[in-house]
């Protein structure tokens, strides 16, 4: 049986963590987790980890919407999701500073 988990956690009133993954028998089949910040009243994605395009990767965005894609060298999506969650929750302030520094 497939199990989908989706939620949004507010980090501050202007920062949030968005999470979605699909699991089957304990194995992550797909995932997307991202950190978003509110800028001029609009939610913008700052960093996103996902399994789109058939591989786990990180998309690092700038305020203009430019994207830098970096593959994740993890053994499976379970490990990739665990790493992505930890990285965003530990480093979102650093990502935000870099993102807003490009304004």
Domain ranges, residue 51: 2-101
The whole-number pLDDT of residue 102 equals: 60
Q: Which residues lie below 8 Å from residue 5, measured CB to CB, with a gap of 6+?
A: 19, 20, 21, 22, 23
pLDDT digits (tens, 9 = 90+) for 16-51: 999 999 999 999 999 999 999 999 999 999 999 999
CB under 8 Å to 1, separation ≥6 — which residues? 24
Does the structure show a pLDDT above 60 at 103? Answer: no
- Do the Cβ atoms of 76 and 55 come closer than 8 Å? no
The pTM of the full predicted model, rounded to 2 decimals, is 0.93
Q: How far apart are CA 40 and CA 63, in angstroms?
A: 11
What is the tally of structural domains in the chain?
A: 1
Q: Is 43 helix (H, G, I), strand (E, B) or coil?
A: strand
CA diameter of the chain: 45
The pLDDT of residue 22 is 97
């Amino acid at each position: 049986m497939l199990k989908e988990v989706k939620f949004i956690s507010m980090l501050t009133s202007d920062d949030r963590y968005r999470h979605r993954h699909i699991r089957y028998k304990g194995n992550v089949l797909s995932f997307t987790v991202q950190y978003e910040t509110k800028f001029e009243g609009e939610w913008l994605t700052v960093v996103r980890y996902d399994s789109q395009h058939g591989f786990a990767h990180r998309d690092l965005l700038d305020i203009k919407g430019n994207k830098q894609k970096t593959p994740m060298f993890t053994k499976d999506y379970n490990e990739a999701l665990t790493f992505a969650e930890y990285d965003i929750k530990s480093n979102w302030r650093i990502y935000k500073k870099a993102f807003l520094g490009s304004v």
